[in-house]
Structure 1
Amino acid sequence: MVKLIHTLADHGDDVNCCAFSSSLLATCSLDKTIRLYSLSDFTELAHSPLKFHTYAVHCCCFSPSGHILASCSTDGTTVLWNTQNGQTLAVMVQPSGSPVRVCRFSPDSTCLVSGAADGTVILWNAQSYKLHRCGSVEDGSLVACAFSPDGNLFVTGSSCGDLTVWDDKMRCLHSEKAHDLGMTCCDFSSQPVSDGEQGLQCFRLASCGQDCQTKIWVVSFSHILGFKLKYKSALSGHSAPVLTCAFSYNGQMLVSGSVDKSVIVYDINTENILHTLTQHTRYVTTCAFAPNILLLATGSMDKTVNIWQFDPETLGQARSTEGQLKQFTEDWSEDDVSAWLCAQDLKDLVGVFKMNNIDGRELLNLTKESLADDLKIESLGLRSKVLRKIEELRTKVKTLSSEIPDEFICPITRELMQDPVIASDGYSYEKEAMENWISKKKRTSPMTNLVLSSAVLTPNRTLKMAINRWLETHQK
């Protein structure tokens, strides 16, 4: 199930792009402004709207940490903003002065790509704000760009329909006609896929265009085996040109928006349509999923941005295997165990369990022998009742574990996060686990294996609130 939970109607003209960080939503428009909203209640920040551009703002994107926002415009500039106070950090002018249509940060935040109407593509150093490398496509305007999650590649799309793949040194690895009449958008899934060949890191790539199709590709690259781009399938749910597409954070869904005014959500594994959303009254120009939580933003030429919320249980999200999950009962204190005993009409055993320091972990490991020999529970009937209740608890815990959304699981511990933080690679981790990771001189990302640009860890309050809400629903 998906439901519309909020509509933003602050822009005075077409909404061209929207983007999420872990705590903010950014939107930009033909009205020359960028607006910032808090994800906690969708109120606009005090320093919003951001004003600098003298013409339409075509694209905006957050750095992986969420501290910097990039925006680009017909005025030929790409501007970097401090998201905490709205101040401009840098104004990077496209060397040709051509209108800039798209911009994207690299996964490690070191680079920013900007693509222009004259086909030029610039790789900027995101620390020094200086031009690092440049290139161009043969025909058309650059209108789409996406980095692979490992940062080894990025893809651009042109108004002539060409999909071009570049390596991190700005060398063109491949180019082909992907969409007749023109390409409009592209996005990589953050989740790797298996393509049957050892040594290749494979990722899904989605592209869409004026041919009314959304296409799925598999991209792989290794320094030993080289680069491969394999066409997989086409999704033909729209009846008009497709202007935007985006993968969900967990890689299980793909969303697209079209000139037909609809938004379609696909199950990426079956390629079936899960939902068709028809709230917008004009062309749907942009869509974006939030990181870590299942929120979707869609923007339109009707000047609005709609926020949609998904029910995880109806979407068949990817789940971690039960053996990797932390069972909630293991976190119980001795007092929690005592409360559980009272709820099971076993309050006479509270003293015995407290005397033996039985917490949640110990409770789940109790056996018939330990109840008799260690806890000295003499009554066979009482021991049998305790074991039966513990088995019921184990079953409940097992069922609960299989339902935990994957985005709530720490990539390091594979356990439910209690204090999530965002690292400079843009991913969220359990704070203690990531601190331990960094303290052991592992200055690389656990997810991408790239060097972390910073050791700073930012609390992910939005994710923590989502986890707490989920726990309140499921731990009754």
Structure 2
Amino acid sequence: IKLKNQVDETILNYTKCIEQYNNLCSIERDILIQKQQKEQKLMSVNQFYTFNKKVLKGFNEFNDNLQKVIEENQNWIKKEWSELEKKWSKWDSQEISIFIGHTLECTKSKINEYNKIIKEKKIDGMSLSKMSKNDWMDIFHFETFVQACIIYDSFNEICKRYSINVIDSDKGVPQQDIPKEYLCPLSNSIMEDPVIASNGITYDRSSIMKQYQNIPNYSSLMTDGKLELYPDHALRQNIQIFLKSPR
């Protein structure tokens, strides 16, 4: 009986050892599986990192090339716009509408609308130089008067930046030959009917009648709501002699 008990105990211990061994094998197998999974994840991460690195490098190269293209286009647009500004006196309806659209950042449909108005009114570049802020507003019906002021100021800046050789195309007189006192300070054209305002400055009658609101403190030039103007006959005669004299 004692021997039998020892055999049973030995068998029981052996069974426990087998179970422990199986458990250890299972644990080892799980560890190996986890290790393989981690290695696969690490490999995937490395592949993803390598791929992203290549993508980032390609993106940086693309971005550098794009910046160069943008810069080249901006320089080209600036150059073309400068060339367009130089020819302001010969602008046609399309170029004038582009100028307005560019300055006010208008939509294409709005630019087309301005183009139609310009064609109907037969406005050219030289016509613009004689327009007041109110003229701009009355003709193009901008949403606000501020827009008319912006256009007026922008166009005058262009005229000053790129002054043309002939101020008045009808008279065809070179700019350098015209005495400054013969030019109207509002229209920058030779005066046909010079008049002296109450501020002591001489203007062309047609110009001051249309553009008097552009003169600082213009209300001081008025009496009972009307402009107080005095014809300058002597200056008018001198201008007529100047225009008739051979050059």
Into which bin does the TM-score normalised by the smaller protein fall? under 0.3
Higher strand share: 1
TM-score (norm 2): 0.27
Highest CA radius of gyration, 1 or 2? Answer: 2
